[in-house]
Amino acid sequence: MTPGSFAVILVHLVVAVLVTPLLIGVMRTVRARLEGRVGAGVWQPWRDLIKLLAKEPTRAPGSTPVLTLAPIVLMASSLVLCALIPLVSTVALASVPGDLFVVVSVLLVGTVSLALLGLESGTAFGGMGSSRHMVIAAMVEPTVLLSVYALSVPAGTSDLAAIVQARVADPISLLNPVSLLAIFALVVVVIAETGRLPVDNPSTHLELTMVHEAMILESGGRDLGWLELGSWLRLTALLGLVANLAVPWGVAPDAAPLSLLVGVGAVFAKLVVLGAVLAAAEVFIAKLRLFRVPELLAGSFVLAFLSVSASYLVF
Amino acid sequence: MSTARLLRLITRTGRVAEPLEPPADGAFVVREGFDVPPALRGSAQVRHVDAGSCNGCEIEVGAAFGPVYDAERVGARLVASPRHADVVAVTGVVTQNMAEPLRNTVDATPNPRVLVSIGDCTRGCGLFAGSYAVAGSVDDVVQVDVHVPGCPPDPRAIVAALRAVTGR
């Protein structure tokens, strides 16, 4: 591994971990302000996280090591995701390819560990949450693959960093219908994958409407802290991917300190703007009935499919 | 409601949260010798348990977390599971059927935890004292750290008690 790619991985991880709770704080504050509330402030997720990580978890008697391991696996998979996705820089990582298929597989590792955690508790809600989560994942993962695949056709590679680089070099391609369709499909599945409205409500207390919350009901203290940070990091990684594919400027083309600094600033600005827009949009929409979620996701799959078909006609 | 109408409503309404006032005297009572755990400074997740209340206190708890009194700004948030919680907020008398679930809820909450009892019924059973369905007041079943008196208590008093926990 070259020193350059090592530095890039380090920057990706540090930026992701530092920015993620702040991003969640900004999203919650935007939502609170639009609802006429004051909100807890943008630093509240940090306070919650520090407190949770200091607390000893209470685990149900008879629980298996899955309860302890699943949060760690989710956290680790999210960190790998943040290292692989070109958030700050498009420097190729020598030993691990930042390939589309690798990224989707790592995403699935986190998804499965969460589903197993839901089943582990043996409660009705945990199992229900897991089954819903897997239904959504089964429709989300192919769409992520297909939509990014459509963008990879003009670039001629499935390496995410190379795709972003190719899009910087050819800004006209950002506005062609193939790219717009693929980005739109990607936005829909990212919203579904990260458990935001209209697929899942992150602030719900009604067990029957929960997807993500239902799976983590039995985790507390440190375990919950890792679960929260792990799922927030997935949001950062996927939003960062969408942002850098849709607006690829500012991403560092090399590992020089100055361009990395510009890259950090650019990704921070893009994440905050995208997060604020997402949070504001959530005020205006209601959660979809669970049986209508497949229609939404199938719609986005069709868009991604059209985008792939069109990309062979255009390029 | 259309998006445009909702947008107009949002801009017209603005902020509905009332300014945060210093707590009134006697808004809440802290158990002697109880110190708020320093780990809970700034952030406290609340699990609310209705142990047999008339639902008067529930309305006030709902109001305390609503937009007007906005307990979220002092760092408190309602959660769906005792395992996520730092504070167990109990309302009402403890009925025969709720004594065991209440003990289980408190046991399922990770340490350090704070037990807040809300309303006069949690101390002395109020109107329901002596009923065959009542196992006792909350004090008889679990150790209460912070008590909010009132029948029902003012949402401001509930926010003040939570603020004493989070220190914000």
Give the DSSP letter of residue B72.
G
Q: What is the DSSP string of A127-144?
A: HHHHHHHHHHHHHHHHHH
In a domain? residue B1: no
Is A67's Cβ below 8 Å from some Cβ in B?
A: no
Put simply, the answer to whether B17 touches A56 (Cβ < 8 Å) is no
Q: Select the residue of A47, A57, A224 nearest B43 (Cβ to Cβ).
A: A47
pLDDT digits (tens, 9 = 90+) for A55-106: 888 888 888 889 999 999 999 999 999 998 988 888 767 667 778 889 999 9
∠B138-B142-B146 over CA atoms, to 5°? 70
Is A208's Cβ below 8 Å from some Cβ in B?
A: no
Domain boundaries, chain A: 3-314
The answer to whether residue A218 scores a pLDDT higher than 90 is: no
Residue at B111: amino acid letter: N
Query: Taking residues A155-179, what's their average pLDDT?
Result: 85
Is B4's Cβ below 8 Å from some Cβ in A?
A: no
Count chain A–chain B contacts defined by CB atoms under 8 A: 92
In a domain? residue B63: yes
For residue B114, the enclosing domain spans 27-166
Put simply, the answer to whether A220 touches B43 (Cβ < 8 Å) is no
Tell me the shortest Cα–Cα distance from A247 to chain B, in angstroms.
27
Q: CB A48: neighbour CB atoms within 10 A? A: 25
In a domain? residue B16: no
Instruction: Name the average pLDDT for chain A.
Output: 88
Is A228's Cβ below 8 Å from some Cβ in B?
A: no
Report which of B160, B162, B144 is spatially closest to residue B76, judged by C-alpha positions: B162
Question: At what angle are helices A44-54 and A221-246 packed, to 10 degrees?
Answer: 140
Query: Do A119 and A127 meet the contact criterion of CB atoms below 8 Å apart?
Result: yes
Q: Would you place residue A165 in the very low, low, confident or very high pLDDT band (cuts 50, 70, 90)?
A: confident
For B:27-46, CB contacts with A below 8 A are: 39-40, 42-43, 45
The answer to whether residue B62 scores a pLDDT higher than 90 is: yes
In a domain? residue B130: yes
The CA distance from B144 to A157, in Å, is: 63
Q: What does the pLDDT read at residue B57?
A: 93
Q: Which residues are CB-neighbours of A194 under 8 A, at least 6 positions away? A: A231, A234, A235, A238, A239
Please report, for the domain that includes residue B103, its CATH number. 3.40.50.12280
Structure tokens at A146: 């297909």
Report phi then psi at A149, rounded to 5.
Answer: -60, -40
Structure tokens at B116: 């807040």
Query: Do A18 and A12 meet the contact criterion of CB atoms below 8 Å apart?
Result: no
Q: What does the pLDDT read at residue A315?
A: 65
Put simply, the answer to whether B13 touches A48 (Cβ < 8 Å) is no
pLDDT digits (tens, 9 = 90+) for A246-287: 988 888 888 788 888 898 999 999 999 999 999 999 988 888
Q: Would you place residue B38 in the very low, low, confident or very high pLDDT band (cuts 50, 70, 90)?
A: confident
Structure tokens at A310: 């069109």
| Overall domain count for chain B | 1
